[in-house]
Amino acid sequence: MRAVGALAAAAAVAVTGGLTACGSDDSDAGVSGDDAAKVDISRAADGDLTKPGGARRLAEDQTQMIADSIQKSGAKNVILVIGDGTANQELTLARNYQWGAAGQIPGIDQLPLTGDYTTYSLNKKTRKPEFVTDSAASGTAWSTGTKTYNGAVGVDVDGTPQRSILEIARANGLRTGNVTTTELQDATPAVQVAHVTERKCYGPQETSEKCPENAVENGGAGSITEQLLAARADVTLGGGWETFSQVAAAGDYRGKTLEAQAKERGYRIVRSADELTKVTSADQDEPLLGVFADGNMPRIWDEAVAVRDGMRRPATRCAPNPEFTSSTPKLGDMTRKAIDLLKGDDGFFLQVESGSVDKANHEADPCGQIGETVQLSDAVSEALEFAKKEKDTLVIVTGDHAHTSQVIANDPEVDVPGLTKVLMGRDGEPIAVSYGTSLEPGEEQHTGGQVRIAAYGPGAANVVGLTDQTDPFFYITDQLGLDREKK
């Protein structure tokens, strides 16, 4: 395993006493190479940054190694890992703070093939490009292959349902999973299991008000939660328990809570990390529903919100979130459990989301944001470790849209518009972060940049170069050999 750079490591010891930021271990988690594929997947610099070549990340010419890594096509399993609101600037901030400028984000930076995809959505009225997407339209793009309007979940610009990868995979006999750190009803997990015209239609109450055409009492398929239960993924893990107390307004489960409906449908429900650890099987006879928070799951790092004069304040260190207790599973643990439960002869499709990178970004909270990027890294590392052992697994890692955070020059004499925060990270140098799309925390907005997408395993070459956010739907279903019309 490579070091993270002589200067970076030395600074880390000086600043953190041998520990990386926020008290985690000093490991670069995950191995540096894949001997079977003859690919060096380490991307950490291991030299003296002040010397020529000290910052280089490539140990040797990559041509043959990359050629070897793309020989095989056709995957048995696909793991799609999403960092909500995670584009290059969010990855750069997390890398600089937690692993150092010369370091690598475990898992994410080790993926050997990479590209970018465009993320624009459509204007519902004009049907022309909307240059800044939301999570609902972006998720619908990769899950169904269909561009749509902001706020749409699994439907096109006319409100017509479009089948998702998860639904098609299940119809073709594969096992399926859906894991998130947000509410299960939030846009990214919802796009794989539901079809509603407005993303906030979490339960029967909201659906009757916000998207009545989807309500069961009006002949629709129901709220996001009702459709989630009907979609019947083998493994479903996240937050959003509050909605399960709502009562169905019509249909076979009329007058019953969604919790009661889940139990009658045969779901095994777990509510804590300890209960999740004890689960040894999940299938169509008894699918697993793990719900670990009333709303979004707590972030692993405490908030440190940017302010208007933040450049003139002392640099701060991120700290653990006291609300994240041992009863809450971490995303890496949920990913590993989902893989263990889904693996087998049938093959599987699994979507995993670190959803609160976006939510902390909206709140101009760099520490919350970085901590959830660490969670993203942990999830990718779990997926990559499995894929390296099982050479029939394609791992794809991306974000759904760009966001507002930027690493800027640390100059307290400059009057920076927007909100700023200065952090003291691994290298022992201050990192200035700017949020410039709003002057109010909680109101920061998405941006329209293209987003990095990277992959490992059979079919990984499809991410190389510039693609669109709709492309993953097609090459994932093709790599899995799925009949997209099969019901």
Question: What is the chain's length?
Answer: 487
Q: Which backbone phi and psi does 484 adopt, to 5 degrees?
A: -70, -10
**What's the count of helices (H) and strands (E) in the chain, helices before strands?**
14, 17
Rg (CA), the chain: 22
Catalytic residue among 42, 69, 121, 135: 135
Assign 346 to helix, strand or coil. Answer: coil
Give the C-alpha separation, 42 to 32, whole Å: 4
Give the C-alpha separation, 236 to 460, whole Å: 26
For 77, 154, 223, 347, the CA distances from 176, given in Å and listed in that order, are 10, 17, 21, 9
Alpha helices in 126-223, H assignment, sequence order? 135-144, 165-171, 187-190, 204-210
The residue type of 466 is L
Which two structure tokens, joined as six digits, stand for 226? 């009702």
Q: Are 305 and 365 in contact (CB under 8 A)?
A: yes
Assign 76 to helix, strand or coil. Answer: coil
Give the C-alpha separation, 431 to 142, whole Å: 33
Which two structure tokens, joined as six digits, stand for 455? 């992959």
Q: Does the active-site annotation cover 135? A: yes
Give the C-alpha separation, 238 to 289, whole Å: 9
Of 109, 73, 108, which is closest to residue 461 (Cα–Cα)? 73
Maximum distance among all Cα pairs of the chain, rounded to whole angstroms:
71
Would you please indicate which residues are annotated as catalytic (active-site) residues?
135
